[in-house]
C-alpha cells in the first residue's frame, strides 16, 4: 500500500472543502442531445441528453452496465454514437480531427499501462504526441508534472514497470497532462487500488482541478469519492440519465427514487465493508 513515507508521494490536503459548490451549468464543455449507442444489436445508451459543465469535476455514477464507460468513451471519440449529437466547445465533436481532439481531451484508463523505460521516458512519449519525434521534456517540466500529481521529482528516473499500482496511476495522470488538455476523462481510476490509496488519488484529482481549472469527467463506482470531489453528478441506469445536477444536491437531496435507492445501497455497502 502506498504511503507518503514509503512511496515518496508528495503530501496533499487530507480533506477536500466540504462546503457546497455551485456549478455554472450554462457553460458546458460538452453538450449531448438524444445520444444513442447500439452495439451488437444491444442498446447501450438510450437517448442521453446532457450538458457537462466546464471546469467542474463531473462524476458519472450508476449500477454496473448502466452505460457510464460507454458515455465517457464518446467524449474523445474512442467510440462514436449510433445517433444523436455531441458538441465539444460549441462545435460538433466530429468536426475535430481525432488526434487534435485527443490532445485537448485526455483519457486515463482504469488500469495504468506503462511503456518500457523510466517514468521520464513515459512522459517523453506523450510529449512526442504533440511535437516532433525527437522532442523531450525539460527537467523542470518533468519535475513540475510529477509534483502536480503528487509524486516527488526523483521518480523521473524510476523504472515505470517497478512502480506500485497507485504510483503507476499517478504517472498515467502526469502523462495525460503532458499535452495540456482542457478536459481529462478518467474511467474508474481507483478501481484497482486499496481504499486508502484510492482516497489519496481522489484528493490529488480534486487538488489538481482546483489548482488548474481542468475539467474532469470521472466514472466511479465508489460513491464516497463522488462526495469527496465531485461538483456535478450524473446518475445513469440502463443507458439513460436518471438525474443530474450539482453534486451536493444530487448526493443529499436526490429527486428520483431510483437515485435515492442507489445511493442508499452504496452507503449500506460501504458501512458493511
Q: What is the mean pLDDT of each run of 10 residues along the chain (273 residues)?
A: 46 40 70 97 97 98 97 98 98 96 95 96 90 82 96 98 97 96 97 93 95 96 95 98 97 97 84 59
C-alpha cell belonging to residue 130: 504533440
Question: What pLDDT was estimated at residue 271?
Answer: 64
Question: What pLDDT was estimated at residue 129?
Answer: 78
Question: What pLDDT was estimated at residue 8?
Answer: 55
In the CATH hierarchy, which fold is given to the domain comprising 25-271?
Rossmann fold (3.40.50)
Q: For 137-179, give the DSSP string.
A: --HHHHHHHHHHTTB-GGGGGSBGGGS-HHHHHHHHHHHHHTT
What is residue 82's DSSP assignment? Answer: S
**Rounded to the nearest 5 degrees, what angle is found at the Cα of 217, between the Cα atoms of 214 and 218?**
125
Q: Report how far residue 135's alpha carbon sits from residue 149's, in angstroms, rounded to the nearest whole number.
A: 22
Question: What pLDDT was estimated at residue 26?
Answer: 64
CA diameter of the chain = 55
Indicate the pTM of the whole model. Answer: 0.88
- The CA–CA distances, whole Å, from 249 to 12, 24, 114, 254, 260 equal 27, 14, 38, 6, 12
Let me know: does 142 contact 175? Beta carbons within 8 Å: no
Burial of 172 (C-beta count, 10 Å sphere; 0-12/13-18/19+): buried
87-118 pLDDT tens trace:
999 999 999 999 999 999 999 999 999 999 99
Question: What pLDDT was estimated at residue 136?
Answer: 87
Let me know: does 171 contact 113? Beta carbons within 8 Å: no
- The CA–CA distances, whole Å, from 12 to 17, 150, 167, 202 equal 13, 7, 15, 11
24-67 pLDDT tens trace:
556 999 999 999 999 999 999 999 999 999 999 999 999 999 99
Percent of the chain with pLDDT over 90: 83
Question: What pLDDT was estimated at residue 112?
Answer: 94
Question: What pLDDT was estimated at residue 269?
Answer: 65
Chain centroid to Cα 46, Å, comes to: 22
Amino acid at each position: 500500500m502506498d504511503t507518503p513515507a514509503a512511496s515518496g508521494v508528495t503530501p496533499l490536503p487530507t480533506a477536500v472543502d466540504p462546503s457546497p459548490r455551485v456549478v455554472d451549468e450554462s457553460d458546458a464543455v460538452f453538450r449531448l442531445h438524444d445520444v444513442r449507442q447500439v452495439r451488437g444489436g444491444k442498446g447501450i445508451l438510450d437517448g442521453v441528453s446532457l450538458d457537462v459543465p466546464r471546469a467542474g469535476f463531473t462524476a458519472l455514477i450508476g449500477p454496473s452496465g448502466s452505460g457510464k464507460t460507454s458515455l465517457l468513451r464518446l467524449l474523445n471519440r474512442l467510440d462514436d454514437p449510433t445517433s444523436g449529437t455531441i458538441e465539444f466547445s460549441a462545435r460538433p465533436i466530429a468536426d475535430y480531427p481525432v488526434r487534435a481532439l485527443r490532445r485537448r481531451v485526455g483519457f486515463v484508463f482504469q488500469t495504468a499501462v506503462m511503456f518500457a523505460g523510466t517514468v521520464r521516458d513515459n512522459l517523453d512519449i506523450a510529449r512526442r504526441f504533440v511535437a516532433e519525434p525527437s522532442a523531450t521534456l525539460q527537467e523542470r517540466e518533468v519535475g513540475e508534472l510529477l509534483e502536480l500529481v503528487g509524486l516527488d521529482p526523483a521518480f523521473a528516473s524510476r523504472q515505470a514497470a517497478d512502480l506500485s499500482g497507485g504510483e503507476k496511476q499517478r504517472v498515467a495522470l502526469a502523462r495525460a497532462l503532458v499535452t495540456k488538455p482542457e478536459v481529462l476523462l478518467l474511467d474508474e481510476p481507483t478501481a484497482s487500488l486499496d481504499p486508502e490509496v484510492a482516497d489519496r488519488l481522489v484528493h490529488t484529482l480534486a487538488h489538481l482541478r482546483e489548482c488548474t481549472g481542468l475539467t474532469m469527467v470521472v466514472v466511479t463506482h465508489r460513491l464516497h469519492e463522488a462526495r469527496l470531489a465531485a461538483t456535478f453528478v450524473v446518475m445513469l441506469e440502463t443507458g439513460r440519465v436518471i438525474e443530474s445536477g450539482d453534486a451536493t444536491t444530487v448526493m443529499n437531496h436526490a429527486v428520483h427514487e431510483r437515485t435515492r435507492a442507489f445511493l442508499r445501497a452504496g452507503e449500506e455497502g460501504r458501512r458493511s465493508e
